[in-house]
Amino acid sequence: MKRINGMLFVSIIPFFILIALFLFIPLFSMIYASFQGDGGTGFTFNQYAEIFQNFYYHQAFKNSIMISLLSSLIAMVMAIFAAYSITLFSKNIQDRILIFANLTSNFAGIPLAFAFIVLLGNSGLFTLLFRAWGWETLSSFNLYSWSGLILIYVYFQLPLAVMLLYPVYQGVQAGWKEAASLLGASSLQFWVRIGAPVMLPSVAGTFSILFANAMGAYASAYALTGSTYNLVTIRVGALTTGDIFARPELGSALAVLLGLTLIIAMFINEWLTRKVRRDLL
């Protein structure tokens, strides 16, 4: 028994080293740097003070939160219906659709932006096609705008949302549906009174993940709009890689605040869920 435990312990050491190297050390050095003056000149709150006073950074947070909320919401609503539809297929087809969703959810970043540019950019395939057919409203769609950005975000959020929600439907027992119907409930009444409340915690959890996924997205936005769109991740990128001049300490402070936003969002989510599902205390 002792020996096996010892072996187990040894075998998870690489895992701990990995976590330390790629999670804790970067995290702590980021937090540490955020309390340093430019160039690492001693402890100070100056970086945070600057962020709180600078309208430009307020706007970055506002934009990031807006696009994350909006794209998560749209993806969530679509996924609720999409995942349900998937459960109606035979097991075989369900598996195939999930593989497809898995693939597409990993299709993000610069390749995704490029794919969209090829299809919907100023001289994109569909843009030209719509123009040729005289579909003005569609051909005048501007990919490099706010709505273009939302479209791309929704595109990489949707498959993730579907994959996370699909198992949640499996958790809604067929027995509950049958019991409800024998007690006189319609399908809608079942979903409103039992299905939805039962799924709510997982749906809320999925929303948190989507929100974080969007808040942290960088490459697709950067590839599509350069640094013209003011998002927190693009600001952090610019400050650390030094598009104009590098200020890694300020970038670190922004990143810490981004992380805090995610944590706060998670707590709000959790709190709201518990208010609705009193039985989960």
- Give contact residues for other proteins (rule: CB under 8 A): 173, 175-176, 178-186, 189, 193-194, 197-198, 277, 279
- What pairs with residue 36 in β-bridges? 43
Q: State the DSSP H helix or E strand holding residue 210, giving kind and residue range, or none if neither.
A: helix 196-215
Minimal distance in Å, beta carbon 243 to other proteins?
A: 51
Amino acid identity at 145: S
Q: What span, in angstroms and rounded, lies between the C-alpha atoms of 181 and 16?
A: 50
Nearer to other proteins, 69 or 185 (CB): 185
Min. distance of Cβ 199 from other proteins in angstroms? 10
CB within 8 Å of 206: residues ≥ 6 apart: 76, 79, 161, 164, 165, 168
Are the beta carbons of 34 and 252 closer than 8 angstroms?
A: yes
Which residue, 180 or 210, is less far from other proteins as judged by CB?
A: 180
Nearer to other proteins, 65 or 194 (CB): 194
Distance of closest approach, residue 277 Cβ to other proteins, in angstroms:
6
Measured from the CB atom, the residue of 39 and 175 that comes closer to other proteins is 175
DSSP character string of 52-87: HH-HHHHHHHHHHHHHHHHHHHHHHHHHHHHHHHHH
Shortest CB 92 distance to other proteins, Å: 15
Minimum CB–partner distance for residue 271 and other proteins (Å): 18
Residue with Cβ nearer other proteins (8 or 182): 182
